[in-house]
Structure 1
């Protein structure tokens, strides 16, 4: 009897796990757990119809009156889009790993691999797939250093000093990190650069307030760092400034962000490209450009199907990266999606649309965020099913 396709075997296996797996409390302050996620990709134009294991994650969290900490580690491999590897674990890296101290309920410090405090937190919108801010190295970025968080009434101040981006993990590429970070180009990246980012300083100041019926937050963020070029041995800089707004009115949510990224790499060919990497790949990004993000969401109240389905959210997210160099085409991403929980499972279903987007529709992976790739809209369907324990 032939084996069933993976799409018929994976979901029942996850459903079986839901009846037995759970987080393990070690003490009243420490618990350990993780997640098993599956992904489904459908792109008829490229004849892609894939289903398989996405990620295995392990985590630990510690929280006491004074000391806090968290670590999460991810494993990938074998299944699409990593079908070129032999087994799960051939690609692996830490997402975060830090310890912290709470001076009081309003002040804390975190040391280690932690999220840089830039823009909307923790993400630039409601999407699972994230925005173009992620692939140009601004959204959901972890770095190695210290972060100070201070809440004073309606004001929130976060300051970060980082020596370097995330430590490299394991894979087949130079880009073996969870975050998209400045990385030396792999051989397949034409016009790639060999830079490394050091001495990263980040500041974020935000204020909560009421705007009519909207509970709101507005803020400003700044980032500056040193770019060391491994070929010329000269130092350039990376400077970013951004403003954001977040609003909530009942079930409705709005998020907006605008940021200017300006990098001055000392590349030997004076090119206006900086190579970034992550998730076992490297690609070029235009050295100068503006990022715009807008997100609208609606949280559907109540539960459905006998309380099996809850937390239903509908959302639309648009992001655009306008590049300053002449002849460099803008990159755009538009996502319509929904997320919800089915008992212990978290599910996201998204219609992905991209133009000059390295991850959508088969545009040039290495050049879409620089000079450009497919300069017309492409689309595909994506679903992620995760059991978190």
Structure 2
């Protein structure tokens, strides 16, 4: 009789949390508070079950002692119908209890979402420019650069990655995509995702990227779908982009030039200035991109990679296709010990249906102009030095050299050399860059310029990344 009461008690203990879980499922998604309450009830339940099992064991031991004390054969025979049902009932209750506990744990696990990590950065910078008399006379300027927020994580095998940036003069999305790992090699991405092209993740070491960035061919992100393959020997990416990250010509944005990376936004007509808002607006449409890279592990401390990249797409004015564009690149990376050497050759062309003075591009809240066709070369060298200087743990010394030549219109070449060092100290990552350049944006020039004079800019960008 007592054992039947005990079994009923276990059932009663189980009923409350199980009803709670059923109510939660009926109402929809389980909240964090409900999950915490469930876990507390499970712990109390498991403790109570242990106590009940101990009592059952003691009662069984007492019954077995009484059974051994009986010398009559009839008592032994009589004990069988009394003892066996009780033991079987106890085992059945235990199995049922464990099964219910397992189901409850599964429900709790299913209710708990994997966390989405939130990170970001805060940056400021000091700038000294020899081509800006006011800045030079003041001894340079120190300004806020940006605040950015990153989201990354995975819920139910679906990946999220997004980044949004706020500047003093604009705000923009850098990327925002969802993804899925089909297996250990293949991943799909959908949304505003990085265009696969050239040396990755960056074709540069400095804060200023390479000249490729200013024609939209480094760290560019557009809206579309991408398939990636990775293994120790091969990288392969293929992607289709419906339009740029702002929705193309008729995208819902108040200022098309407010964006993180450069995109073509118009056609520069003959009576317009280099920095003017374009009269004829255009945008990328229905673009394809592919990148392949072969990787070699030469030794424990050396490796080599070569690769090819290509892009092709249409240019649309909001009604009709008014031209095509393409870009090709051959690239390589060689690393040995603490040294890294990178090189890339790039060629691009915009074939427009109308006469033009170049292509209008936009980013960082202003318009600029690039040649409709050009070749680009860049050669970079970097040396990474681990140190222990207070909070400083690493110094990366580098020199990035860029040339843009064979421009349409017989324009002067663009040349940019960046000599610098990047300093790692906890969450701080700081670039010290000395830029010497001609016809280079953010160094007193434009890619559509025709100057033979070099400018100098000294830049310190201080970022705290979390």
CA offsets, 1:157-204, max 9 Å, x none?
100100001117999853111110011379863595522110110000
CA offsets, 1:264-315, max 9 Å, x none?
0223xx124111111111111101111111110000123223xx10121000
TM-score by length of 2: 0.69
* Equivalent residue, structure 1, for 2:295: 208
Give the match's secondary structure for 2:230: strand
Task: Pick from 371, 388, 391 the counterpart of residue 286 of structure 1.
Answer: 371
Task: Pick from 15, 28, 31 the counterpart of residue 117 of structure 2.
Answer: 31
* Equivalent residue, structure 2, for 1:339: 422
Task: Pick from 134, 153, 157 the counterpart of residue 62 of structure 1.
Answer: 153
Partner Cα separation in structure 2 for residue 310 and residue 318 of structure 1: 26
* Equivalent residue, structure 2, for 1:381: 458
- The change in CA–CA distance for 1:40 and 1:27 in structure 2 (over 3 A counts) is farther
Consecutive unaligned residues of structure 1, counting only runs of 5 or more, are 1-25, 83-90
Q: CA deviation at 1:355?
A: 0.6
- The change in CA–CA distance for 1:56 and 1:161 in structure 2 (over 3 A counts) is same
Q: Could you say which structure has the larger radius of gyration?
A: 2
CA contact (8 A) 2:152 2:161 kept: yes
Matches within 5 A, 1:226-305: 226-229=314-317, 233-267=320-354, 270-305=355-390
Consecutive unaligned residues of structure 2, counting only runs of 5 or more, are 1-111
CA offsets, 1:299-343, max 9 Å, x none?
0123223xx101210000011111332421111111011111222
Which structure has more RCO (C-alpha within 8 Å, separation ≥ 6)?
1
* Equivalent residue, structure 1, for 2:5: none
Q: CA deviation at 1:54?
A: 0.6
CA contact (8 A) 2:276 2:367 kept: no
Counting strand residues as a fraction of each chain, which structure ranks higher? 1
Give the match's secondary structure for 1:347: strand
Counting helix residues as a fraction of each chain, which structure ranks higher? 2
Partner Cα separation in structure 1 for residue 380 and residue 156 of structure 2: 36
Partner Cα separation in structure 1 for residue 378 and residue 423 of structure 2: 23
Indicate the RMSD between aligned Cα atoms, in angstroms: 2.4
- The change in CA–CA distance for 1:271 and 1:185 in structure 2 (over 3 A counts) is closer
Count residues with an aligned counterpart: 341
Matches within 5 A, 1:152-171: 152-167=231-246
Give the match's secondary structure for 2:309: strand
* Equivalent residue, structure 2, for 1:175: 257
Partner Cα separation in structure 1 for residue 190 and residue 254 of structure 2: 29
